Amino acid sequence: MLLHIPEVLTRDQVAGFRRKLEQADWTDGRETVGHLGAQVKRNEQLPEFSPLRRELGEAILTALAKHPLFFSAALPLKYLPPRFNRYAGGGTYGFHVDGAVMDLGQGEQLRSDVSCTLFLSDPEEYDGGELLVSDTYGEHEVKLPAGDLILYPSTSLHQVNPVTRGARLASFFWIQSMVRDDGRRRLLFELDSSIQALRRSGADQAAVLQLTGVYHNLLRQWAET
């Protein structure tokens, strides 16, 4: 499921992030990937142990915790703390698939089910830099307003097109979902969205209650915690 999550960060929050990132010390993005990824990756990232990365990452996770659309779509169990990257001067990241298992430290692992990119630059600030996600329905170009997030299955082949003008700033991170299978997550998301729409429309309460029970019983059956 490829889903646009609008307004994760406010415009004021984005501006605050940008002021801090403009003063940051960036490192070669190839430091965080393996041999194959390093062949196609040309960008900059905040260092892994940067206090700024931790500060801004915690702010993003706090904002996401208040966003019901995000929770409904991702059903998060664990997060890899958000990272931050910068593409400029032809920077790009060729087609790749994200690693299946990631190290959270202290012997804990995360299975990457859901990939997220939170845009911190507005589309008019740079040329190129589209996130290109390939799935069974074709290739989808994504270039969102600053503060908006795109969510997609970590199994997807994807790339970042070369940035030929300006700079593209973003945060990216991965989620281990309570529901491993993307098809099941999609069904639960569509069911939850329909229940919320029925509630807003004043539909029969008994029928809405019954559907809500179906949702939770499916989640109970499929969830891994």
In the DSSP assignment, the letter for residue 55 is: H
In the DSSP assignment, the letter for residue 80 is: P
Residue 220 annotated as binding site: no
Identity at 124, one-letter amino acid code: E
Residue 28 annotated as binding site: no
Which runs of E-coded beta strand occur in the chain? 3-5, 27-28, 41-42, 44-45, 76-79, 83-88, 92-96, 101-105, 108-111, 114-119, 127-128, 131-135, 138-142, 149-153, 157-160, 163-165, 167-177
Helix (H, G, I), strand (E, B) or coil at 151: strand
State whether the Cα torsion 168-79-37-139 is positive or negative: negative
Residue 149: both structure tokens together: 């997030």
Contact 13, 59 (CB under 8 A): yes
Residue 140 annotated as binding site: no
Which residues are documented as binding site for Fe cation?
96, 98, 158
Which residues are documented as binding site?
96, 98, 158, 168
Which residues are documented as binding site for 2-oxoglutarate?
168
